[in-house]
Chain A
Amino acid sequence: MKIVMCVKETPSTTAEKRFGADMRLERRKEDAIINPFDEYSIEEGLRQQEKHGGETIVLSMGPATATDTIRKALAMGADRGVLVSDPALAGSDAVATARVLAAALQKIGFDLVLFGSAAADAYGGIVPSAVAEFLGLPLLSFATKLDEDGTTAKIERQAEVGYNTVETQTPALVSVMKSINEPRYPSMKGIMQSKKKTIDTMSLADLGIESGTVGAGASGEKALSAEKITTQRKGEIYMGNDGAAERVVAFLVEQKVL
């Protein structure tokens, strides 16, 4: 079985976000990490491989330096990496990204493609379904459990009450939730071996994609402004002996705590 895990390099969740004049997030190499949501899809891919054998491939679209991020996924245990990198890709929105990933996936070949449910930079969450659309294949989204037997993939998806079971034929795409597993730490041996694993780089020409169909110019999604969200916590303090306890009780009743 051939399993491809799609990963994105994102800024560390604790890094200060800065935006350029074009409202694009400035990405600094030293803040780059694997999108935390993708750690769950990498882990799930490795677990499926441990069960069924086959090959695990990490696919990413990003700047040339994103090989470092792919390398981290290889240290967790994936077999090899593919990076799609091309200057013309800068500024691609979710749909343009999906177009590129779909083309790369077709070139690589797969039985199962795994995604995190979103990326921790923009939280769009559109890419998995858009890739499925480009490929004309089913997406089992928001999986909290995945069973795969070589011909069918079956997931559980959290519902308001209980969960839904969704099943489809493979090849298929699956996006996973954080509750699906607990991602492993890269082992020391894994880290030492990661350097010996191959990471192939593909350009737009390699994928047969016209540069005019991707990148900032071809993207319908535009960021117009960005501002810091400030949350203000409002506390109410009831002072003194005069009725404070009653007001606390009334508040708790109002909140349906009592």
Chain B
Amino acid sequence: MDFSLSDEQEMIRDMCREFAEEEIKPRAEELDRTGAFPYYIVRKMANLGLLGLPFPEEYGGAGADFLSYCLALEEIGRGDASVGITMEAHTSLGATPFYLFGTEEQKQQYLVPLARGEQLWAFGLTEPNAGSDSAGTETRAVKSNGVWHINGAKNFITNAGTDMTGGVTITAVTGRQSDGHKQITNFIVPQGTPGYLIGNPYHKMGWKASDTRPLSFEDCQVPDANRLGDEGDGFRQFMSILNAGRIAIAALSVGLAQACLDESLKYSRERQQFGRPIAAFQTIQFKLADMATEIELARNMYYKAAWLHMEGRPYTREASMAKLFASETAKRCADQAVQIHGGYGFMDEYPVSRFWRNVKVHEIGEGTSEVQRILIYKNL
């Protein structure tokens, strides 16, 4: 058994740590306050190859492995969760479907500019009445004369409306399977397609600088060439995308948890009460020790899930466990971080209040904690 990272993995992690420290962290407060999309940072990340990490060079990527991508996400997320989720949604949800299921033509047309970071891409699964319950999907696509007519609505879609966005890949019902279940197919809808309407950004509790919007489709027409994979393959496709995406969200959550510990260590060693730094009190030490221990465990869980994925072994259960535990660890860490900061932790001028608001969605996005538990139980 070998826990060591490769030289490349270490270098990618270290570079991202430095980048987050110098380029992201100093801007995180402003991003949270204004909710403005971080174009400056995202374009820098694009130039450094951070938006196409796990894709081969021939498709414009960096040719790094999946764990390297997760390590990068942890460090970027440690700098700021909004920037982290932008990178994750673009890579795991936006670009990966083209890489896994696209034709060679689709890869050249769509994946290459995404991996190079010239464009962002969104993935539209969630609807007002459907998400993890994909049977509730109401968006329909009907083929007529070789053209698909799409009607319906999507909710909470990340990266859908930035100036850099190239389009969205959506799930739509295209009929019924022989067993009576809805048949789901995925479609590529580029920005500017008539009938594709992008709503205003949501006002959110956290992840404020990430671009999240409702979408609607009113007789939106795309050619059959915009079908991703076979008709009826949509369910299998997004299950596979979400599975790997959960490992990425776990990494992002570990980054947020680590940021909570970083700030708590710093503050508790500076803050003087009763004549000494509060870190000298055992009650604070125990909180810090528990945070560090859980973070270590969560990190190892996502490492292992990523390793299973790279080895081509089954990883659904481990991915869900990692996502569940890492996001709940991050929540506990954010809670304790605010507690350690006392009244100051409740103020916007300390980053832990932002962490506390950001962390909630980690237990919700890409499958709630409850859904993760269902998936874990199913794999026992």
Binding site for B on A (CB under 8 A): 68, 71-72, 75, 185-192, 194-195
| Known A75-B11, A185-B48: A192·B64 in contact at CB below 8 Å | yes
B43-81 toward A: CB 8 Å interface, digit per residue (1/0)? 000011110110001000011100000001000000000
Partner of B62, one of A68, A71, A189: A189
| Known A185-B15, A185-B18, A187-B49: A192·B7 in contact at CB below 8 Å | no
- Asked whether, in the complex, the Cβ of B63 is within 8 Å of the Cβ of A195, the reply is no
Tell me the bound Cα distance from A191 to B52 in angstroms.
Answer: 14
Q: Does B8 sit within 8 A of A, measured CB to CB?
A: yes
- Asked whether, in the complex, the Cβ of A71 is within 8 Å of the Cβ of B7, the reply is yes
Q: Can you offer 18 A-B residue contacts whose CB atoms are under 8 A?
A: A68-B7, A186-B11, A187-B62, A188-B15, A188-B49, A188-B50, A188-B52, A188-B53, A188-B62, A188-B64, A188-B72, A189-B62, A189-B63, A191-B11, A191-B12, A192-B57, A192-B63, A194-B11
Give me 11 other A-B pairs in contact (C-beta within 8 A), A185-B19, A186-B15, A188-B12 excluded. Answer: A68-B7, A71-B7, A75-B11, A186-B11, A187-B48, A188-B49, A189-B49, A189-B57, A191-B11, A192-B63, A194-B11
Shortest CB-to-CB span from B150 to chain A, Å, is: 35
**Beta-carbon nearest neighbor of B23 in chain A:** A185
Interface of chain A: mostly helix, strand, loop or mixed: helix
- Asked whether, in the complex, the Cβ of B15 is within 8 Å of the Cβ of A191, the reply is yes
| Count of residues in B whose CB is under 8 Å from the partner chain | 18
Tell me the bound Cα distance from A138 to B205 in angstroms.
Answer: 62
Shortest CB-to-CB span from A178 to chain B, Å, is: 14
Shortest CB-to-CB span from A171 to chain B, Å, is: 32
**Beta-carbon nearest neighbor of B18 in chain A:** A185
Shortest CB-to-CB span from A218 to chain B, Å, is: 34
- Asked whether, in the complex, the Cβ of B15 is within 8 Å of the Cβ of A195, the reply is no
Interface centre among B11, B18, B19, B63 (most CB of A within 10 A): B11
Q: Which are the 9 A-B pairs with shortest beta-carbon distances?
A: A188-B49, A188-B62, A191-B11, A187-B48, A187-B49, A189-B62, A189-B49, A192-B63, A186-B15
Q: Which residues of B contact A75 (CB under 8 A)?
A: 11, 15
Shortest CB-to-CB span from A35 to chain B, Å, is: 15
- Asked whether, in the complex, the Cβ of A71 is within 8 Å of the Cβ of B47, the reply is no
Tell me the bound Cα distance from A68 to B19 in angstroms.
Answer: 19
**Beta-carbon nearest neighbor of B14 in chain A:** A72
Q: Which residues of B contact A185 (CB under 8 A)?
A: 15, 18-19, 48
Q: Which residues of A contact B19 (CB under 8 A)?
A: 185
Interface of chain B: mostly helix, strand, loop or mixed: helix
Shortest CB-to-CB span from B43 to chain A, Å, is: 13
Shortest CB-to-CB span from A39 to chain B, Å, is: 11
Shortest CB-to-CB span from B357 to chain A, Å, is: 29
Q: Which residues of B contact A194 (CB under 8 A)?
A: 8, 11
**Beta-carbon nearest neighbor of A68 in chain B:** B7
Shortest CB-to-CB span from B376 to chain A, Å, is: 33
Q: Which residues of A contact B62 (CB under 8 A)?
A: 187-189, 191-192
Binding site for A on B (CB under 8 A): 7-8, 11-12, 15, 18-19, 47-50, 52-53, 57, 62-64, 72
- Asked whether, in the complex, the Cβ of B49 is within 8 Å of the Cβ of A71, the reply is no
Q: Which residues of B contact A190 (CB under 8 A)?
A: 49
Q: Which residues of A contact B57 (CB under 8 A)?
A: 189, 192
Q: Which residues of A contact B47 (CB under 8 A)?
A: 187
- Asked whether, in the complex, the Cβ of A195 is within 8 Å of the Cβ of B50, the reply is no
Tell me the bound Cα distance from A189 to B7 in angstroms.
Answer: 14
Partner of A195, one of B8, B18, B49: B8
Q: Which residues of A contact B18 (CB under 8 A)?
A: 185
Shortest CB-to-CB span from A73 to chain B, Å, is: 11
| Known A189-B57, A189-B62, A189-B63: A72·B11 in contact at CB below 8 Å | yes
Q: Which residues of B contact A191 (CB under 8 A)?
A: 8, 11-12, 15, 62, 64
Shortest CB-to-CB span from B124 to chain A, Å, is: 27
Shortest CB-to-CB span from A192 to chain B, Å, is: 5
Tell me the bound Cα distance from A192 to B63 in angstroms.
Answer: 7
Q: Which residues of A contact B64 (CB under 8 A)?
A: 188, 191-192
Tell me the bound Cα distance from A170 to B18 in angstroms.
Answer: 36
**Beta-carbon nearest neighbor of A71 in chain B:** B7
Q: Which residues of B contact A187 (CB under 8 A)?
A: 47-49, 62
Shortest CB-to-CB span from B54 to chain A, Å, is: 10
Shortest CB-to-CB span from A81 to chain B, Å, is: 14
- Asked whether, in the complex, the Cβ of A188 is within 8 Å of the Cβ of B48, the reply is yes
Tell me the bound Cα distance from A13 to B15 in angstroms.
Answer: 16
- Asked whether, in the complex, the Cβ of A71 is within 8 Å of the Cβ of B11, the reply is yes
Shortest CB-to-CB span from B57 to chain A, Å, is: 7
Q: Which residues of B contact A186 (CB under 8 A)?
A: 11, 15
Shortest CB-to-CB span from B26 to chain A, Å, is: 15
Shortest CB-to-CB span from B230 to chain A, Å, is: 33
Tell me the bound Cα distance from A189 to B268 in angstroms.
Answer: 39
Shortest CB-to-CB span from B53 to chain A, Å, is: 6
Interface centre among A75, A187, A189, A194 (most CB of B within 10 A): A189
Tell me the bound Cα distance from A190 to B19 in angstroms.
Answer: 15
Interface centre among B7, B47, B64 (most CB of A within 10 A): B7
Q: Which residues of A contact B8 (CB under 8 A)?
A: 191-192, 194-195
Tell me the bound Cα distance from A214 to B57 in angstroms.
Answer: 45
Q: Which residues of A contact B53 (CB under 8 A)?
A: 188
**Beta-carbon nearest neighbor of A67 in chain B:** B7
- Asked whether, in the complex, the Cβ of A195 is within 8 Å of the Cβ of B12, the reply is no
Tell me the bound Cα distance from A18 to B47 in angstroms.
Answer: 39
Tell me the bound Cα distance from A192 to B57 in angstroms.
Answer: 10
Tell me the bound Cα distance from A21 to B47 in angstroms.
Answer: 47
Q: Which residues of A contact B7 (CB under 8 A)?
A: 68, 71, 195
Shortest CB-to-CB span from B148 to chain A, Å, is: 36
Interface centre among A186, A188, A195 (most CB of B within 10 A): A188
Shortest CB-to-CB span from A150 to chain B, Å, is: 29
